[in-house]
Structure 1
Amino acid sequence: MNSAEIETVDVVVVGAGFSGMYAIHRLRDYKVVCFEAGDGVGGTWYWNRYPGARVDIESVEYSYGFDESLQQEWSWPEYFSAQPDLERYANHVADRFNLRQHIRFSNPVTRLAFDEARERWNVYTEAGDHVVCRFVIAATGSLTAPNSPPWPGREKFCGDIYHTARWPAEGVDFSGKRVGFIGTGSTGIQAMPIIARQAKELYVFQRTPAYCMPSGNRPLDKEHERDWKANYATRREQMLDTYGASLVEYPEYSAHDCTPEDREKILEKAWNSKSAFQLLFAFSDVMTDAEANEMVCEFVRRKIRSIVKNPKTADLLCPKTYPIGGKRLCIGNGYFEMFNQENVTLVDVRDSPIKEFTETGLLTERDQYELDVIVTATGFDAVTGAMTRIDIEGCGQRKLVDKWAEGPSTYLGAMVAGFPNLFMIHGPSTPAAQAQMITTGEWQVNWTADIIDEMMHKGHARIDVTESAEQEWADEVDMVSGLSLHKFADSWYNGKNIEGKKGGFMVYVGGFPRFRLLCEEAVQSGYKGFVFA
């Protein structure tokens, strides 16, 4: 490509999910271009169209707060909105704020290369774009790089294989089909009860059972909506001051302070509450005290055994090897009840692992399963995957994938030493999905944009971070994760869902208020840990 075809802009945004869209809007006074791999906006809610896809945070909270008119004009049909409504909302925002003029769809970024002499990023895309810019904002998301099963023989299978994160927009008809479903995380728990209503047979291949509580979803009460709209400004501030940027109840009493009878009443109330994650905050010490956590675990196991009629199946569905909340708590609608249907079979692949795909289905160490369709809900190369799948080259021609070979290193989850002017939203070592992602993404975009504004005002060409600052942040991340029970579970939080993936805990679990405070203090104390040129 000759120089006449090279485009120059101020900012390139990677990804048109909710954080990427807001970044375009917040930085609208600059020349901004956004590259998006999909052909529409919405990020997670564009790609994840599988049956039953639904948010597990109340939609009045899981929404933008930057524009009061937007908050007042939009109405959610349910407490926990389904994927079509969230995608509709994303499209409404893109149209209302005229964001599409900045977005180039179906055009993923393939390479980023920093030119040290010119202090500019060269951005290359699959469609052949070459854009030179001062700043890159990677709004690539924590859960965007699908993880496919590693078993051999995929090409042999004569039926259809679907990954839940790349679901056909036209949907899938399972009527009369023998379906194998691999994966019992939050996606599988949402999708399977709906598929089971259609399928002739559904085989659920479970490696690790999940803690799951009822969604509490229902049509949104109009009085509840009016109350939120009358108090949005106050509520948004309250959200930023809560651990997960969501207004669940945070009690001050320990599980040990309660009698067994009182504990049961509290847990029963949490189980039946409209707040999807209330079980994790039923007591002040659920995520820090192993005994308190086990009380909640056993409560859920009793629920499972009371719902699932077959004792052997119920026992297999009871998690016993990790604390509740150690993996993301799942929210379901009829998941455990589904196993009482005659057409549903639970397959324990912890005891008998899957070996390979065959022409007619799946082969485990003990059995052959004849299937017409296989659905893989095998998750994501989370937190780092979206970034490491782009060829990113910083100072000294160092590749990001090489720097992160032993695990991701960042400062405040926002920048990486040796990769100047490259900012991440919901990057490694941020709260990510441990906090409500639209509200916290908005905050991170504002924090980032304020830095860019100050650089432009003062004439700074480059901002980087030091490796010592990265180490200090790594120590903070390790410290807060060490105080919680998250460390006792293998999950995408620590990359243990991907065979061979290295690195420690990749999500900040010290709570959003502490994360926010430390980010603000770093800037206000003279940009501690940052280096300007």
Structure 2
Amino acid sequence: MADAAGTAVLAATAGISDPSAAVVQSINDTHQRYAAERDKRLRSDGVAQYIDVAHSDRLRHYQDDPWVDHTALNAQEPPLKDGSQTKILILGAGYAGLLMAVRLLDAGIKASDIRIADSAGGFGGTWYWNRYPGLMCDIESYIYMPLLEELGYMPKHKYSFGPELRAHAERIADHYGLREKAAFRMEVKSMDWLDAEKLWSVEMNQNRGPSEDVARVTVRAQFVISATGVLNYPTIPKLEGLDLYTGHAFHTSRWDYDYTGGSPDEASLSKLATKRVGIIGTGATAAQCVPHLANCSKELYVFQRTPISVDSRDNVSTDPSQWATKIAASSGWQAERRWNFFRILANTAPRPALDMVDDGWSRSPSISALYGAPGKGVLAKPEDVAAHVAGLHALDLVRQERIRRRADEMVDDKATAEKLKAWYPSWCKRPGFHDDYLSTFNRKNVTLVDTDGKGVERMTEKGIIANGTEYELDCLILSTGFRSPFLGTAARAGMTVQGCNGRSLDDKWSQGVATLHGVCSHDFPNFFWPGPSQAALDGNYTHTADHLARHVAYIVTTALGRGSDDVVVEPTADAEEAWSMQVLARAAGFAAQAGCTPSILNGEGAIDRLTGDEEKMKAARGATWGDGFESYANTISDWRIQGEMEGLVLS
């Protein structure tokens, strides 16, 4: 958008009817800087620059469970045994899996017909695994924590900390009688559809601890729902010399408090007082844990390839009187507040008169580029797409300039402040929010090692080489993210899925994603999942998960009500192709993501490497709903209201 025509459109969208030469030059300079910073970070290996530790025998210890109590779990009566059969098997015991179970119960399914399996040692999903110091949710807890109204629970803070989020998952499980239905430490290996029996055969390995052998457990289920989440499987960079390093190392999602001191409830990290600590990665996790590491470490080196944009967090304790009289004062308050949040983010016209959440997300008016917005999906003409992208940039420039100024205001050393500035649009990476991250770099024991987009070079026996300098470390912490959320449903969960006639789900989707409503696929009967491909996204993940759980519960219970007890339901090939075309038609709503700095959101720049029309069409089929979550929710709600189960075949 740096050419003259694009600049004119952008300026007009921003309300500048007659932009001066200085304004035009400023806009052009910013976009040229964006492009230059992106180009520094583009790599030919894309996502292959990372190692999925689950697929590496040498590195699997990075995903070992440090929290599990094998003795206690082994003493319990297992809810799933080898040879068990259940009506509904839910894979995943995080918020999404719990919501699937709760909405099935609400729709009339008996608790005795539900079983839950998870590779973790307890409920919580990402909140089970992630227990690093400073962990909190960056979405307001009043809209993020599920089922607050149903459970009558008041969060302690506007943005809840990790222990409370994990405890809430346990609270949901206990409230709905799901604890005894959950089998933990179960790693799903494969699913195979047994056509003659109209059942899924699900093969799992159960880790029973170091003193017992891994147990092979095969169960059969009429329906399987995969709700395995997107922030559970750690990845680490392919670093030359990784095996040479003799210091301590761990991933942030498996925090080693035995080494650092402290606990998930108390972040003193007292054992780091004499340690030289390095952390690779400066995303949302690092923004939260770096201040605690800085407070406790003798020396802290923060290795940065791409800076995170960091706005203020402004967390406060929940005021019980405000909670009772303003926040949770009426029936349906949580749903109303969630929709209010989405409409603010989506720039819905007219904008809600009251911004109920009123936080840093509300001051991110261009974030709809990531989630979609009403009327912005179907853009048939190139000039419409250009105007849409220009409008998003116009909304974004003011915010990003403010964020960059914040670095100048909070960081004393101007050279360091400059390196902490995010030169990309807000939507290219998930925005960060923290009150102490930037000022942490004023501490004498903290060194920002900015690699100017290249990343660290390699590891040695003693530490890391970056920018030609060796940094000796006692401890290396990898804050390097997780398996891509846009992998296929089976690949994301690390399992193989064989449907009718032995058809592989991953093989099918390698030709292009094909679903009905983003929740089921032809030739894979009685199998469901909560998107994200061909479904929709909201900045508040649990809002999306709840709607998708209600939708899947409707399909399952309606099929059972209209068919026999062993009913089989799946979409037709024509129906899923028609839905795929609707998704494809709205893909232009995400046009602004082209040209983004590499990240997990764009496959480390994979979007910009697509060349042929066929490749681009295939990628667009796997997008989410370009008109935004509310349009998607209304579409599937209307489908349910019609009551015809259109596009599904019951047999």
The answer as to 2:517 corresponding to 1:435 is no
Q: Which residue of 2 aligns with 1:496?
A: 604
Q: CA deviation at 1:510?
A: 3.1
8 Å Cα contact 1:140-1:387 kept in structure 2: no
Aligned with residue 88 of structure 2, among 11, 14, 24: 11
In 2 relative to 1, CA 215–411 (structure 1 residues): closer, same or farther, beyond 3 Å? same
Judge conservation of contact 1:251–1:284 (CA < 8 Å) in 2. Answer: no
User: Could you tell me which residue of structure 2 aligns to residue 353 of structure 1?
Assistant: 455
Residue equivalent to 1:298: 401
Q: Is the 8 A contact 2:149 2:334 kept in 1?
A: no
Q: How many residues align?
A: 507
For the 8 Å contact 1:49–1:169, the answer to whether it is kept is no
Counterpart CA distance in 1 for 2:258 and 2:531 is 30
For residues 434 and 517 of structure 2, the distance between their equivalents in structure 1, rounded to whole angstroms, comes to 33
Cross-structure match for 2:101: 24
The superposition leaves residues 174-202 of structure 1 with CA deviations (integer Å, 9 ceiling, x where unpaired) of: 22211111111111111111111111221
* Structure 1 residues 161 and 182: CA distance shift in structure 2, 3 A: same
Find out whether 1:464 has 2:543 as its counterpart. Answer: no
Shift of 1:145: 2.1
Aligned to 1:116: 195
Is 2:162 the partner of 1:83? yes
**Closer/same/farther in 2, CA of residues 415 and 496 from structure 1, 3 Å limit:** farther
Task: Tell me, yes or no, if structure 1 residue 102 matches structure 2 residue 181.
Answer: yes
Deviates more, 1:151-160 or 1:37-46: 151-160
1:204 aligns with 2:302: yes
Query: How far apart are residue 329 of structure 1 and its match?
Result: 1.1
Partner of 1:258: none
Residues in 1 aligned to 2:289 and 2:535: alpha-carbon distance in whole angstroms: 28
Matching residue of 1:486 = 593
* Alpha-carbon distance in 1 for matches of 2:232, 2:544: 18
CA separation of 1:421 and 1:243: change in aligned 2, threshold 3 A: farther
Cα contact 1:251–1:281 (8 A) shared by 2: no
Deviation at 1:333, TM superposition (A): 2.7
Deviation at 1:214, TM superposition (A): 1.0
Are residues 197 and 234 of structure 1, via their aligned partners in 2, closer, same or farther at CA, if it must alter by over 3 Å?
same
1:308-332 CA-partner distances (Å, limit 9, x unpaired): 2222222221122x21123211111
Letter in 1 for 2:87: D
Measured after TM superposition, the shift of residue 234 of structure 1 is: 3.4
Say whether the 8 Å CA contact 1:352–1:366 is kept in structure 2. no
Structure 1 residue 508: Cα displacement: 4.1
- Partners of 2:203 and 2:146 in 1: how far apart? 30
Superposed counterparts of 1:156-175, under 5 Å: 156-168=244-256, 172-173=260-261, 174-175=272-273
Alignment of 1:123-138 (within 5 A): 123-127=202-206, 128-138=216-226
Where does residue 315 of structure 1 map in the other structure?
418
Question: Comparing 469-478 with 360-369, which one deviates more in the overlay?
Answer: 469-478
- In structure 2, relative to structure 1, the CA distance for the partners of 1:511 and 1:15 (3 Å cut) is same
What stretches of structure 2 of length at least 5 have no aligned partner? 1-80, 207-215, 262-271, 370-387
- The answer to which structure has the higher helix fraction is 2
1:379 aligned partner: 481
- The one-letter amino acid paired with 1:512 is F
How is 1:315-354 mapped onto 2 (pairs within 5 angstroms)? 315-320=418-423, 322-354=424-456
- Inter-partner Cα distance in structure 2 for 1:175 and 1:524: 61
Deviation at 1:67, TM superposition (A): 5.6
SS in 2 for 1:10: strand
Query: Matched residue of 2:407: which SS?
Result: helix
> Which amino acid is the alignment partner of residue 435 of structure 1?
G
Distance, in Å, in 2 between the alignment partners of 1:211 and 1:57 is 16
Q: Give the root-mean-square deviation of aligned CA atoms.
A: 3.1
Name the CA shift for 1:67/1:365 in 2 (closer, same or farther; >3 Å): closer
Spell out the pairing of 1:29-428 with structure 2 (5 A cutoff).
Answer: 29-30=109-110, 31-65=113-147, 68=150, 70-71=151-152, 74-127=153-206, 128-168=216-256, 172-173=260-261, 174-228=272-326, 230-239=328-337, 241-242=339-340, 244=342, 275-281=359-365, 288-320=391-423, 322-364=424-466, 366-385=468-487, 387-388=490-491, 389-405=494-510, 408-428=513-533
Deviation of residue 488 (structure 1)?
Answer: 3.8
Q: Per the alignment, in what secondary structure is the counterpart of residue 457 of structure 2?
A: strand
Change in CA separation of 1:354 and 1:403 when aligned onto 2, cut-off 3 Å: farther
Cα pair 2:346 2:367 within 8 Å, conserved: no
Deviation by residue 1:490-514 (Cα, 9 ceiling, x = unmatched): 3323322799999456444532211
Pair 1:467–1:176, CA change in 2 (3 A): farther
Structure 2 distance, partners of 1:137, 1:66, is 24
Give the aligned residue type for 2:416.
Answer: T
1:289 Cα deviation after fit: 2.3
Structure 1 stretch displaced more, 445-454 or 500-509: 500-509
Q: In the superposition, relative to structure 1, how do residues 374 and 183 fare at CA in structure 2: closer, same or farther (>3 Å)?
A: same
> For the residues of structure 1 that align with 2:93 and 2:361, how far apart are their CA atoms?
28
Asked if structure 1 preserves the Cα contact closer than 8 Å seen for 2:157 and 2:316, the reply is yes
Deviations 1:351-377 (A, max 9, x none): 543232221111235222211111111
DSSP 3-state at the match of 2:524: coil
Please tell me the residue identity of whatever aligns with 2:162: Q
- 1:452 aligned to 2:452? no
CA distance in 1, matches of 2:367, 2:525: 43
What letter matches 1:215 in structure 2? R
**Residues 375-395 of structure 1, C-alpha deviation per residue, up to 9 Å, x if partnerless?**
111111132457311121112
Q: In structure 1, the residue corresponding to 2:428 is in which secondary structure?
A: coil
Q: CA deviation at 1:172?
A: 2.5
SS at structure 1 position matched to 2:302: strand
Seen in structure 2, the aligned counterparts of structure 1 residues 475 and 293 have a Cα distance that, compared at 3 Å, is farther
Q: Indicate how the Cα distance of structure 1 residues 220 and 7 shifts in structure 2: closer, same or farther if over 3 A, else same.
A: same
Letter of the structure 2 residue corresponding to residue 22 of structure 1: L
Is the contact made by 2:305 and 2:450 (CA closer than 8 Å) also made in structure 1? yes
How far, CA to CA, are the matches of 2:90 and 2:580 in structure 1? 26
TM-score normalised by length of structure 2 = 0.71
- String of CA shifts for 1:36-75, please: whole Å, max 9, x gaps: 111110111111111111011221222223763x12xx23
Q: Which amino acid in 2 is paired with 1:459?
A: G
Secondary structure at the aligned position of 2:132 is classed as coil
CA distance in 2, matches of 1:105, 1:409: 31
Structure 2: which amino acid aligns with 1:153?
A: G
| Contact 1:463-1:530 at 8 Å conserved across structures | yes
Q: Take 1:498 and 1:204, find their aligned partners in 2: how far apart are those partners?
A: 27
Once the two structures are superposed, what CA deviation does each residue of 1:67-92 show, in whole Å capped at 9, x if it has no partner? 63x12xx2322110100111122222
Does the aligned pair in 2 maintain the 1:206–1:347 contact within 8 Å? yes
The amino acid of 2:599's aligned partner reads S
Give the C-alpha shift of residue 396 in structure 1. 2.4
